[in-house]
Structures are given as C-alpha cells and as structure tokens.
Amino acid sequence: MNATNLKKVVIEPVTRVEGHGKVTILLDEDKKVKQARLHIVEFRGFERFIQGRPFWEVPVLVQRLCGICPVSHHLAAAKAMDIIVGGENLTPTAEKMRRLMHYGQMFQSHVLHFFHLCSPDLLFGFDADPAIRNIIGVAQKYPDLAVQGVMMRKYGQEIIEATAGKKIHGTGAVPGGVNKNLSIEERDHFLKDIDKMLEWSLGAVKIAKDYTMENLDMVKPFGSFDSNHLSLIREDGAMDLYHGGLRCIDPEGNKIFDHIDYSNYLDYIAEEVRPWSYMKFPFIKSLGTEKGWYRVGPLARVNTCDFIDTPLAEKERKEFMALTGGKPNNITLAYHWTRMIETLHSAEKIRDLLNDPDLQGNDLITKGERRDEAIALIEAPRGTLFHHYKVDKNDQVTMANLIVSTTNNNEPMNRAVTKVAEDHLSGVEITEGLLNHIEVAIRAYDPCLSCATHAMGKMPLIVTLVDHLGDVVDKKIKD
C-alpha cells in the first residue's frame, strides 16, 4: 500500500499548554485502520537554551521546561550536578529532604491526574457528555470526592513549597545537597493531616481497583498490548522512585537487564528517529527497534519491582499482581490503578519521612572531586527521566541531553491509539465516541505534552478529517 493512497483522519490540538500534538489515523482503501500516529512536537530548543549557562543554575533553569513536572526536572538536574561537584553521596538530611520533595511531587501529580483528568472517565463513563465528564461534573455529583482531590493536591503542593521554595524558581535542591531543612513547625503542619491523606489515598486506590475489576471485560483489551517494562529499582528489588539501578523486563517478566548503573545508559538504550515525528522513539539496543521498545511510569514500576517497602501499598501491589498471576500486567487502563498504588506509597513515605529527625539536621551540602560529565535518572510521575550534561573548565554547560518520560512512552502511546482506532473507528467520520476513546487511551499514560506555554486564546482542539485526495471532509473544534 502506497502511503499516498491512505486516507488520513487528523486530530490536531492547537493548544500550547500541551504542545502541538495531533493524532493521524491512516486508512487503507477498504477504510480500515492501517496505522495511527501520535505526533508530539517536542521543543528541543531547551537543550540549547541551557548551553553556556553555569552548571549551578541548571536545577533552577530546567524547571522552566515544564510547568507540569518542574520538580522532577529540578531533582534530576540536581542529581546530575551532585556528580559534577563530587557530592553524590548526600548527607542524610539532604537526601531525605529531596525525597520528601519528590514524594510530595509524586503525590500531587498522581492526584491531579486521577481526580482531575481520569475520574470523570471512570465515574461517568467514556461516552458521557463532555459537558459533565470533567472535574466540574465530578464536583457537582461527587462533591466529597472532588474536595478530597483538591485538598490532596494542595497538600502535595505545600510539601513542595516547604522543601523546594517557591512554586516558580524553586531552589531547594542545589549541587551536592539542599539549601534548607524542614522546621518543626513545618513538620507539625504536615503531620496534622497525614492520616487523612492516607485514608483518602486508600479510597482512591479502591475506586481505581473496583472500576478495573467491575469492567474487566472492557478494560482488558482497551488499547492493550504486551510490552517490555523499564524502571529504576533499589538494590534489594524494592520500588524506589528517587534512585536505583535500571531494570527492564519482558512481557513475561523475564529480566532483559537488571541493576544497571544508569551512567552507562547509552550502552543499553538508543533513540530512533522517524521522519513523521519530532519526538524520538527509545528502545533497548540489544533487542532492536522492533522488539526493544518499552513502557515506563506507574504500570511499569509496579510490574518491575519485587516489592514495595511500605505496608499499605505492598498489600495493594500484591492484589494487583494477583490479577495476572504474578506476571506483568499489560492492560493499558491499569495505569490508573497502579498510579493510585503509588499515590498511597508516596503518602506512606511522606509520613515516615516527617517522623524522621534527620529532616531537622543542619548538615546540608557535601562536595568532592570535580567532574565534567554527569548522568542522572529519576522516576518522575510519568516515568523514567534521563538528564545528561557536560560541563567545561569555566563551569559552563557545553552539552545537555534529556530523555523525558513521555518520550520513553512514545511507542506505547502510538500502539494504544492504533489499537483503539482499530476497535472503534467506523466509516470515515470522527465521531465523539472515537475522540473520547482515543483521549482515554492517551490519557492513561498521563503524557506531559507540555514543555510549552498556555497564554489565553490558545486552547481549542481542532479535529480534521482528510480524504485520500487531501480534501477536508470533516472538521471538529473542541474548545
């Protein structure tokens, strides 16, 4: 089939908050789905933007990359700059402050996604009227749940403020450590509400779990496929969202590699360029592009770890893994369930850290032998995040390479959209139902298509249907 003979169905959001993403569904002559492509215009200019800047500015500068997950970039860059200053062996206070910041970020990010973006789908159904299938709709029909979502998000954001500083220009993590500890007053403020956060997190896990189990026939095949899974892992096999070695498993759970020092990531992972996409496609070198792609994020992390080191989340992990007999779970919509297990885990970690007196320590920074290259990874809410820098003798950054979580999930998202299009496209019309299903499939990955801006007047979703002659036969705009 020549590509020019294919009919194209284009779903193009012109929104700067999520970058310039669009979905193109290629149809064959029989109007069957041949291929679906999720286009994300990744803004690569950022890596050039930080070249020439002093390395100690980088943990602050990289937050500008993304208004959605600035803390993940802040911490990944700080971990890299630890290596530059020879301060990667952090003091207990510094490491625990950073972990508290990180769990606060994980908690608020997952909560935002679940309550704000996902829960309307689960509570009202994918095909419900978009006018009610949103957070305002949830607020009106399930006000207690909506309040929980807002207050949990607020809690996580306040943890970030207490550890990182301001919402914009956070400076908490610095090369070799942190610039503040947690005061007794701050600690007591957060301890006051932590039991409520745990209770609400358990409730959110239950919503995601019950939805999955009650709708298993629909959920199981929805945008689903077997895949490899990649994440950081602690030395003893526990889930560790802040630090660890790289583990990758195949769809059956066999280890492709394990406990890899991530400073050697270039020996294991490469990025493929495809002419139709600005975003690269990472893959495991030893398996090649066809079989080497993998998933990252909550689903991958729960699949790859041997256990979770907090009791409530571990109990939920066991229940989750029992669904597939202990084998990796490859259900795309199971991202929601695992995201809530991680929310619970983060709340437990926050509680444990708040009760640790090391957070009130005053030994904040360490240094050692100066280096000129650094690679650091962290498990961001959406998956594994890679930061790689080179610094010259004048302390200026000469090279930066970032592989963001959404890039790691590029191929899986394309596969999910293809699967949904195959199952739900009827004729050559972009129905509301098809749109909804595609969005639900993409949303499962919680992609950060951001790295952009959001000024007023740039928010519509434009949907265009183009026939094989290039004529627009259908167009929809979603404000």
Binding site for other proteins (CB under 8 A): 13, 15-18, 43, 45-46, 48-49, 61, 63-65, 67-68, 70, 112-113, 115-117, 120, 130-131, 133-136, 139-140, 143, 146-147, 149-151, 153-154, 157, 166-169, 439, 448, 450, 452-459, 461, 478-479
The CB-of-165 to other proteins minimum distance in angstroms stands at 13
Our CB check for other proteins shows the closer of 49 and 268 to be: 49
Question: For residue 97, which phi and psi values (nearest 5 degrees)?
Answer: -65, -45
* Cβ 248 to other proteins shortest distance, Å: 28
Longest CA span, the chain: 69
Q: To the nearest whole angstrom, how small is the minimum distance from the Cβ of residue 71 to other proteins?
A: 11
Task: State the nearest-atom distance from the C-beta of 74 to other proteins, in Å.
Answer: 12
Q: How far is the CB of 420 from other proteins (least distance, A)?
A: 15
Nearer to other proteins, 186 or 240 (CB): 186
What is the closest distance, in whole angstroms, from the C-beta atom of residue 156 to other proteins in the complex?
9
**Of all helices (H) and strands (E), which one includes residue 397?**
strand 397-403
Q: How far is the CB of 45 from other proteins (least distance, A)?
A: 5
Nearer to other proteins, 132 or 321 (CB): 132
Q: How far is the CB of 454 from other proteins (least distance, A)?
A: 5
CB nearer to other proteins: pick between 51 and 254: 51
Q: Is 113 helix (H, G, I), strand (E, B) or coil?
A: helix
* Nearer Cβ to other proteins (48/192): 48
Distance CA 85, CA 372 (A): 9
Among candidates 401, 414, 404, which has minimal Cα distance to 379? 404
Contact 341, 302 (CB under 8 A): yes
Among candidates 158, 87, 114, which has minimal Cα distance to 367?
87
Nearer to other proteins, 93 or 148 (CB): 148
The H or E element that residue 97 is part of is: helix 92-111
Dihedral sign, Cα of residue 112, residue 299, residue 101, residue 391 = negative
Which residue, 233 or 417, has its beta carbon nearer to other proteins? 417
CB of 316 closer than 8 Å to CB of 341? yes
Name the pairing type of β-strands 21-27 and 33-40. antiparallel
List helix spans (H) across 221-297.
288-291
> Smaller CB distance to other proteins: residue 404 or 461?
461
Minimum CB distance to other proteins, residue 103 (Å): 17
Residue 456 CA neighbour count, 13 Å, CB half: 0
> For other proteins, which is the closer residue by CB, 310 or 332?
332
Residue pair 31/380 in contact (Cβ under 8 Å)? The answer is no
CA distances from 473 to 7, 30, 320, 394, 455 (A): 11, 17, 45, 58, 31
Q: What is the DSSP string of 33-80?
A: EEEEEEEE---THHHHHTTTSBGGGHHHHGGGG-SSSHHHHHHHHHHH
Residue with smaller CB distance to other proteins, 70 or 297? 70
**To the nearest whole angstrom, how small is the minimum distance from the Cβ of residue 67 to other proteins?**
3
Nearest Cα residue to 408 out of 299, 310, 280 = 280
Beta carbons within 8 Å of 154's beta carbon, 6+ residues apart: none
